[in-house]
Structure 1
Amino acid sequence: MTEAERAAPGHDHSVALVTASYAGDMERFRLLCETLDRHAQGYSRHLVLVSGRDAALFRPFEGPRRHIVNENELLPEWLHDMPDPFNLGGRRLWLSWRGWPLRGWHIQQLRKIAIARHVDEHALVFLDSDVAFVKAFDARTVVRSDGSVRLFRRPFELVRRPPSEQHVWSRNAGRILGLGSTTSPHDYIATLIAWRTASVRAMIERIENACSRHWVEALARQRAFSECMIYGRFSDEFDDRTHHFHDDTEWCHTYWGGPGLTEGGIRDFLDAMGESQVAVALQSFTGSDIGDLRRVIG
């Protein structure tokens, strides 16, 4: 069987890459595409999830294996976006009568969950717009021969860490999944992670049964949530144990916060990459110049 046949949608172990993005991340997304096309293999297609108003801006990136997906195809019609009246920087709010107003970072999480109901691939690998590959990456490594899918988990990380947002997200994941105000000792949040498509669909069903409402409405009512924490807790506490295998190896070297890195700082950051790390991510809110990163990685 050829690589293309193994990666094709519908094959038992096929993998799709997924990026939720928006117009403000366009240049970062451009670098992601360039480095992904240079270094990545073993995937069927790259699905790019954007708002309806941004879809036309992203169309030029489409190709044989890259497809732009309008969020209107994924999210319920009762969720509408509008300019944020309290922000002059072009930010938007998503409103409905079913929950609290949501911001773009909420909606990107909802899109990532929703896409599982629209694909045939066995697994999904999520890449943020600010990811840039610097080494070879084979997406097929997220699936073992028995079909189990890699679940990133830092074991007992929340036990060692002082109270934080992660604890709030873990507790809210418990509520959404019908576990009450419980927390998990584990942290599931990272950049460049995999989900098993059928498990995401089962998670959606679990949320709707536990909350007696549409899953998007359930999350909108909670508002403070992490899609990684919800999926991680569902996979560990509800899903069949044979569906996943745990791994705490971080594949992406991520700069989560701090002052913007200069070109020299970016070089030092890349020099500190672990042997197993294949990509870097400089969070956009740090203000690090994407042009500097492009020059450093060539």
Structure 2
Amino acid sequence: MPTHHEELSMITCSYAPDYQRCERLCRSVDRWVSGDIAHWLVVPARDVALFRTLSNGRRNVVAVEDVVPGKFWQLPKSTRWWLDSRAWPVRGWVMQQVTKLSANFVSSAELIIFADSDLQFVRPFSRDNVVHDGQLRLHRIAGAKDTGEHLLWHHKAADLIGAKKQYFGHDYIGQLITWRRSHLEGLQQHLEDQHSRPWYQGVARALKVSEYILYGAYVDVVVGIDKSGHFSCDQDPVHCCWFKEEADALANGTNPLQERAVAVLLQSNLGLSDQDEQRIVRDLNASSLRPLEGLAL
């Protein structure tokens, strides 16, 4: 069984258009996240120099091209398209999923947590928030999101891991998602064993795919949740604002910060100005909030 002292690393995949948001995330990490958690920024090679301004004693910047196996190139003057070694076009959002699935080439830590650029921490966060008695949190909501595009993502995950076409019984998509490096490596090997090709090729060429569903399905069907070193959790650690009305309600106090939330997400397409976002987070930081260190999410 996993030990209580396994290292936790935070990984953020970003790119130049999200630099300002990532900068705000980094400031919040340095303020609220325990200093023993290393923070890795993974960005396209042409953006590395820009993001290196965010490096410090706990934060490192690496290029996508240096950590993702195989050969991928970003098209010149494009942020939305990449090519693989056989000139197969790869959508930018799929490439980001391939990058997350390459997290074991970014950090040697056993425990991995993903923080997106549009997050900002507003309460204390440490390893104890996601680890209980050596078990790592797995975002897993029974019966949720079993239709539409989400169902297609489940079907693709089933195809990739060699299972029958199905909905896997849980939704695994959320914020501050946590994985085990050992299972990620197991997933990569399993995909190659199933399809006799590099794991990243099948993911990169998929039209409908979710890295979080793929990992969750692998843990449930292949590893077994009871043997995985994960504990199942359906509580969201992030207060998400997907719509302008939700951000307005958070700002005016009619929808206060959720009790278990250690971070807030302000979706990038809400039309909020940089000043609006900073004001919302500044007011949250100034509030007398009960610290959540040691409270599992």
TM-score greater than 0.5 by the shorter chain? yes
1:129 aligns with 117
How far, CA to CA, are the matches of 2:84 and 2:251 in structure 1?
45
2:277 aligns with 293
Root-mean-square deviation (CA), in Å? Answer: 2.3
Deviations 1:88-143 (A, max 9, x none): xx533111365852222212211111021442212011100000111111133322
Q: What letter is aligned with 2:230?
A: H
Q: What letter is aligned with 1:35?
A: S
Deviation at 1:29, TM superposition (A): 0.6
Specify the SS of the correspondent of 1:137: coil
Deviation at 1:49, TM superposition (A): 0.7
How far, CA to CA, are the matches of 2:254 and 2:85 in structure 1?
46
Please state if 1:157 is matched with 2:130. no
1:6 aligns with none
Give the alignment partner of residue 52 of structure 1, picking from 36, 45, 56.
Answer: 45
Q: Structure 2-normalised TM-score?
A: 0.86
2:79 aligns with 91
Contact 1:254 1:280 in 2 (8 A): yes
2:295 aligns with none
Contact 2:90 2:205 in 1 (8 A): no
Q: Structure 1-normalised TM-score?
A: 0.86
Deviations 1:61-93 (A, max 9, x none): 111100001112112343211047xxxxx5331
Contact 1:83 1:92 in 2 (8 A): no
Deviation at 1:11, TM superposition (A): 8.5
Please state if 1:245 is matched with 2:222. no
Please state if 1:214 is matched with 2:198. yes
Please state if 1:148 is matched with 2:145. no
Structure 2 segments unaligned to the other structure (5+ residues): 283-297
1:70 aligns with 63
Q: What letter is aligned with 2:240?
A: T
Specify the SS of the correspondent of 1:190: coil
Q: How does 1:1-298 map to 2 (within 5 A)?
A: 12-41=5-34, 43-83=36-76, 90-96=78-84, 98=86, 100-145=88-133, 147-159=134-146, 163-240=147-224, 241-242=226-227, 243-256=229-242, 258-259=243-244, 264-268=248-252, 271-298=255-282
Specify the SS of the correspondent of 1:53: helix
How far, CA to CA, are the matches of 1:218 and 1:270 in structure 2?
45
How far, CA to CA, are the matches of 1:203 and 1:275 in structure 2?
34
Deviation at 1:296, TM superposition (A): 2.2
Deviation at 1:255, TM superposition (A): 2.0
Structure 1 segments unaligned to the other structure (5+ residues): 1-9, 85-89
Specify the SS of the correspondent of 1:68: strand
Deviation at 1:270, TM superposition (A): 8.3
Deviation at 1:42, TM superposition (A): 5.9
Deviation at 1:30, TM superposition (A): 0.9
Contact 1:168 1:224 in 2 (8 A): yes
Specify the SS of the correspondent of 1:238: helix
